[in-house]
């Protein structure tokens, strides 16, 4: 009997070991069919935050592929003074602590925005705080700026730079939940990351930090941007680091006008807008069980809302402020829609979580083909 048990254990060990080895080989060599048909459904059985952490770990370990991403000459884009290999970037919110920057670039993202980063470490909101709405192609999160703080993220980016990494990195800045001086928090972020970031983002539009969106109001935003831009201008760097403002999709018409008035003022003129953050609205079309959860909604239901805002702000700013479009992008056609609306570049996050790690590769390939085939699609700067 003991002999039979030993044989069974050996067989089980071989099966488990063989399965793990096969899985590792498929992932390492970028087997998209295996990842999409086998691995992704298994990942979607995990708690969303656990799956998120597993994804970060996999990228840190570089287990997806050690091959360089395919570059498409017709996708090369100029964003400010930066040359990026693709207009498709990873939005803030996925790599909050700057742990997976290199891995994301290797998956085909033209640029990566880390954060939101707060000056001091903070845990964010209690779990559960992220929910998949698979039937709606959406996610609701209420993370609440969980962050390891400026110090750790800075050290990671500086280490990458010292190793010769030259991919484009944006750093999304936020304030600590209990801070009594939000402006000082953002200025501290500019001073800390200005020397190592390719661009900085002032995030005043997350719905998950109490009072944060109030910083989008005219007087508060004016004071904030004046301080932030003054700090940026004092940095001793080889170039003037672009500063972008990330705004919410739930603004009233009056709030939109106020923001445009502020950001076009000489002392408050940002270098770019990121449109948009997640929405607190809940379209009537939602059918998933988690549709009533509190937090910011992202993914497909946000697509038209963010595209409309891009078009509006492009017109209101007379096209003088570059826009990075975010919200509901999961295909090459979605990218073109955002670019035609007025975006210079775009970002995604939800589609990476819902469609798997090769979504950027798939979009880049399709986008390149669409641009080749259609003489009417002329959207890249």
Give the span between the Cα atoms of 374 and 376, in whole angstroms: 5
Nearest Cα neighbor of 116 from 161, 175, 169, 57 is: 175
Q: Which residue has the higher pLDDT, 4 or 127?
A: 127
Query: Is 30 among the domain residues?
Result: no
The domain tally of the chain equals 1
Query: Is 13 among the domain residues?
Result: no
Query: Is 5 among the domain residues?
Result: no
Give the span between the Cα atoms of 310 and 308, in whole angstroms: 5
Chain segment 111-170, per-residue pLDDT in tens: 999 999 999 999 999 999 999 999 999 999 999 999 999 999 999 999 999 999 999 999
Query: Is 29 among the domain residues?
Result: no
pLDDT band at 374 (very low <50, low <70, confident <90, very high): confident
**Angle between the N-to-C axes of helices 218-234 and 253-263, in degrees from 0 to 180, rounded to the nearest 10:** 30
Residue 237 dihedral angles phi and psi, to the nearest 5°: -135, 165
* Catalytic member of 86, 179, 206, 276: 206
> Cα 6 vs. chain centroid, distance in angstroms?
49
Per the DSSP assignment, residues forming a β-bridge with 246 are 203, 274
Q: Has this prediction a pTM greater than 0.75?
A: yes
Q: Which of 11-20, 187-196, 335-344 has the lowest mean pLDDT?
A: 11-20
Query: Is 199 among the domain residues?
Result: yes
Query: Is 60 among the domain residues?
Result: no
Query: Is 101 among the domain residues?
Result: yes
Is 206 considered catalytic here? Answer: yes
Q: Which residue has the higher pLDDT, 358 or 39?
A: 358
Of the chain, the end-to-end C-alpha distance in Å amounts to: 73
What distances in angstroms separate CA 377 from CA 85, 304, 310, 369, 381, one per listed residue?
A: 18, 20, 18, 11, 12
**Angle between the N-to-C axes of helices 303-316 and 332-341, in degrees from 0 to 180, rounded to the nearest 10:** 30
- Provide the domain limits for residue 100: 69-373
CATH of residue 270's domain is: 3.20.20.70
Query: Is 115 among the domain residues?
Result: yes
């Amino acid at each position: 009997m003991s002999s039979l048990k030993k044989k069974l254990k050996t067989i089980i060990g071989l099966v488990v070991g063989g399965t793990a080895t096969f899985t590792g080989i498929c992932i390492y060599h970028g087997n998209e069919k295996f990842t999409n048909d086998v691995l992704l459904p298994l990942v979607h059985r995990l708690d969303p935050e656990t799956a998120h952490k597993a994804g970060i770990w996999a990228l840190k370990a570089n287990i997806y592929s050690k091959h360089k991403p395919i570059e498409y000459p017709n996708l090369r884009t100029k964003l400010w003074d930066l040359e990026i290999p693709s207009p498709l970037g990873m939005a803030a919110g996925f790599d909050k602590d700057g742990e997976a920057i290199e891995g994301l670039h290797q998956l085909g993202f033209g640029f990566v925005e880390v954060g939101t980063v707060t000056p001091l470490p903070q845990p964010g909101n209690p779990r559960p705080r992220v929910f998949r709405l698979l039937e709606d192609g959406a996610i609701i999160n209420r993370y609440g700026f969980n962050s390891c703080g400026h110090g750790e993220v800075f050290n990671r980016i500086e280490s990458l730079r010292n190793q010769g990494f030259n991919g484009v990195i944006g750093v999304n800045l936020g304030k600590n939940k209990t801070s009594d001086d939000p402006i000082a928090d953002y200025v501290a972020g500019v001073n800390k990351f200005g020397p190592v970031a390719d661009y900085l983002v002032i995030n005043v539009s997350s719905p998950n930090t109490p009072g944060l969106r109030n910083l989008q109001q005219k007087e508060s935003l004016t004071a904030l941007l004046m301080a932030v831009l003054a700090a940026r201008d004092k940095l001793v760097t080889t170039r003037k680091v672009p500063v972008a403002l990330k705004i919410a999709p739930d603004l009233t018409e009056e709030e939109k006008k106020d923001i445009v008035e502020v950001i076009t003022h000489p002392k408050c003129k940002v270098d770019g807008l990121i449109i948009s953050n997640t929405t607190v609205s809940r379209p009537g079309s939602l059918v998933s069980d988690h549709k009533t959860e509190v937090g910011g909604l992202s993914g497909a239901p946000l697509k038209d809302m963010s595209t409309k805002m891009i078009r509006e702000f492009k017109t209101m700013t007379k096209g003088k402020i570059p826009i990075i479009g975010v919200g509901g992008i999961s295909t090459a056609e979605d990218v073109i829609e955002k670019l035609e609306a007025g975006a210079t570049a775009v970002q995604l996050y939800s589609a990476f979580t819902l469609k798997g790690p090769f979504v950027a590769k798939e979009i880049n390939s399709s986008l390149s083909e669409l641009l080749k085939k259609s003489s009417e699609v002329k959207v890249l700067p």
